């Protein structure tokens, strides 16, 4: 063979922006041979019901993630510190909904 | 000004028959994403066919609808290019079974989309304003079909030895069928005469350029297209169309007027 075939296509994470002004949101992942291929497949899989106006694809391997085992030291210390939420202010009526 | 009914049927039948063929991949795609992509392509084409049939049915009157045109006409009434009705496998006698060949699907979609980006672009200026509007909508869809099929053509052609051989074999088989694009059928002549159609001969150089550039990038060799010139758009089809219609029309014919 002139070019060895890829036995397994790498995984890509797909982010779709639903309309102008909103952020791109993670909506799933897919296997594709390269970025262009991943974009096209994301278009066909994730935007065929008018879900988006823009797509990002990111190689899953380039994402660094927190470890599930670190949950205790990472996230639990915040659970008893409700004062970090700005819920103790009185909002004047004129401001309306915030 | 309306385009001749047979001309609308020619455009509609191309879309419907190729849409039906591509729909055969539904549930059988090589990968899940491609399965969805081919179904999307198929639904775009069937959508184009519906608009064209509705436009034709208004002119025919007499109770004609998009459904009577799609489901209650027979082989000699269809005006599609023979290219659109061929099976997704190396050519063989009509009842033989073979494996569906993805390269055949891609090459056909590429050859047809390369033509239709030019056809729909020109038809935006048709004197038939409804046809012009359908052309504008279809142009966007077919641009994506071309992008999708061209991308795969490059990957197959410039891929492994096996994918290259399959793409080349599909091209060798299908390119001669494109000779039909450049012949003139009575409905095309009539549409050109009343300003609703286009002169296909003027598109040939642009089509050659689109095809040649892609083939060069894909490292595929353009075969000499000669010999038999198909006549599907004049109603003289290959043996394959009857089998497509049998599958596509059987439900509507067994249960006329059935709805969901």
By Cβ distance, the residue of A5, A40, A48 closest to B151 is: A40
Residue partners of A89: CB distance under 8 A and separation at least 6? none
Number of domains in chain B: 1
C-alpha distances in Å from residue B208, one per residue of B175, B178, B181, B217: 11, 11, 12, 14
Query: Which residues on chain A are in Cβ contact (under 8 Å) with B143?
Result: none
Averaged pLDDT for residues B202-223:
98
E strands, chain B, in order: none
Query: Is B202 at the interface with chain A, CB within 8 A?
Result: no
What interhelical angle do B102-123 and B5-23 show, nearest 10?
150
pTM, two decimals, is 0.89
Let me know if B61 is exposed, middle or buried by CB neighbors in 10 A (0-12, 13-18, 19+): exposed
By Cβ distance, the residue of A1, A30, A32 closest to B160 is: A1
Cβ–Cβ < 8 Å for B130, B226: no
Q: Interface pTM (ipTM) of the complex?
A: 0.78
- Burial string for A56-76 (b: 16+ CB within 10 Å, else e) reads ebbeeeeeeeeeeeeeeeeee
By Cβ distance, the residue of A2, A31, A45 closest to B161 is: A2
Residue partners of B53: CB distance under 8 A and separation at least 6? B8, B9, B12, B16, B65, B66, B69, B70
E strands, A1-98, in order: 11-17, 24-31, 54-59
Averaged pLDDT for residues B61-85:
97
Query: Is B37 at the interface with chain A, CB within 8 A?
Result: yes
Which of A6, A40, A48 should we substitute to test contact with B (largest number of B Cβ atoms within 10 Å)? Answer: A40
Least confident window among A36-50, B53-67, B101-115, B197-211? A36-50
* B260 within domain boundaries: no
Query: Which residue does chain A place closest to B160, by CA atoms?
Result: A3
**Tell me: the pLDDT tens digits for B142-154?**
999 999 999 999 9
Res B93 pLDDT > 70: no
* B39 within domain boundaries: yes
Query: Is A16 at the interface with chain B, CB within 8 A?
Result: no
Q: What is the share, in percent, of chain B residues with pLDDT greater than 90?
A: 91
Give the per-residue SS3 of B83-146: HHHCCCCCCCCCCCCCCCCHHHHHHHHHHHHHHHHHHHHHHCCCCCHHHHHHHHHHHHHHHHHH
Using CA atoms, how far apart are residues B228 and B236, in angstroms rounded to an integer?
A: 13
* B228 within domain boundaries: yes
Query: Which residues on chain A are in Cβ contact (under 8 Å) with B144?
Result: 43
Using CA atoms, how far apart are residues B251 and B150, in angstroms rounded to an integer?
A: 35
Minimal CA separation from A16 to chain B, in Å: 16
Cβ–Cβ < 8 Å for B33, A44: yes
* B259 within domain boundaries: no
Give residue A60's pLDDT. 95
CB contact under 8 A, A32 and B162: no
**Tell me: the pLDDT tens digits for A68-89?**
898 888 888 888 888 887 777 7
Using CA atoms, how far apart are residues B98 and B180, in angstroms rounded to an integer?
A: 26
pLDDT category at B249 given cuts 50, 70, 90 is very high
Residues 19-48 of A with CB under 8 A from B: 30-33, 36-37, 40-41, 43-45, 48
The CATH number linked to B160 is 1.20.1260.10
State the residue range of the domain holding B160.
5-89+96-254
CB contact under 8 A, A1 and B162: yes
By Cβ distance, the residue of B34, B144, B160 closest to A5 is: B160
Query: Is B99 at the interface with chain A, CB within 8 A?
Result: no
pLDDT category at A50 given cuts 50, 70, 90 is confident
* B156 within domain boundaries: yes
Res A4 pLDDT > 90: no
By Cβ distance, the residue of B37, B160, B161 closest to A44 is: B37
pLDDT category at A1 given cuts 50, 70, 90 is very low
Query: Which residues on chain B are in Cβ contact (under 8 Å) with A32?
Result: 33
């Amino acid at each position: 063979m002139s070019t060895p075939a890829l036995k397994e296509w790498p995984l890509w994470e797909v982010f779709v922006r639903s309309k102008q002004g909103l952020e791109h949101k993670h909506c799933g992942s897919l296997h594709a041979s390269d970025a262009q291929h991943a974009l096209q497949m994301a278009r066909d899989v994730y935007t065929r019901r008018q879900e988006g106006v823009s797509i990002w694809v990111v190689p899953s391997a380039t994402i660094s993630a927190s470890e599930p085992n670190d949950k205790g030291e990472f996230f639990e210390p915040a659970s008893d510190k409700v004062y970090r939420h700005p819920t103790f202010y009185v909002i004047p009526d004129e401001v309306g909904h915030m | 000004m309306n385009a001749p009914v047979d001309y609308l049927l020619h455009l509609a039948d191309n879309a419907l028959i190729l849409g039906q063929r591509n729909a055969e991949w539904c549930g059988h795609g090589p990968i899940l994403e491609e399965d969805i992509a081919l179904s999307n392509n198929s639904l775009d084409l069937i959508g184009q066919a519906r608009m064209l049939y509705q436009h034709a049915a208004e002119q025919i009157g007499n109770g004609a609808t998009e459904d009577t045109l799609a489901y209650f006409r027979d082989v000699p009434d269809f005006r599609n290019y023979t290219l659109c009705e061929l099976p997704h496998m190396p050519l063989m006698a009509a009842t033989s079974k073979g494996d569906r060949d993805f390269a055949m699907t891609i090459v056909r979609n590429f050859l047809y989309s390369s033509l239709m980006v030019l056809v729909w672009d020109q038809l935006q200026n048709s004197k038939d304003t409804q046809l012009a509007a359908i052309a504008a909508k279809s142009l966007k869809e077919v641009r994506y079909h071309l992008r999708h099929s061209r991308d795969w053509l490059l990957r197959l052609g410039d891929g492994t030895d096996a994918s290259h051989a399959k793409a080349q074999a599909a091209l060798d088989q299908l390119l001669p069928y494109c000779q039909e694009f450049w012949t003139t059928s009575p409905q095309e002549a009539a549409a050109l005469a009343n300003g609703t159609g286009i002169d296909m001969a003027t598109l040939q150089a642009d089509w050659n350029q689109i095809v040649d550039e892609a083939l060069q990038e894909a490292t595929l060799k353009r075969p000499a297209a000669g010999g038999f010139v198909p006549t599907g758009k004049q109603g003289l089809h290959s043996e394959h169309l009857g089998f497509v219609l049998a599958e596509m029309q059987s439900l509507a014919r067994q249960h006329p007027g059935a709805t969901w």
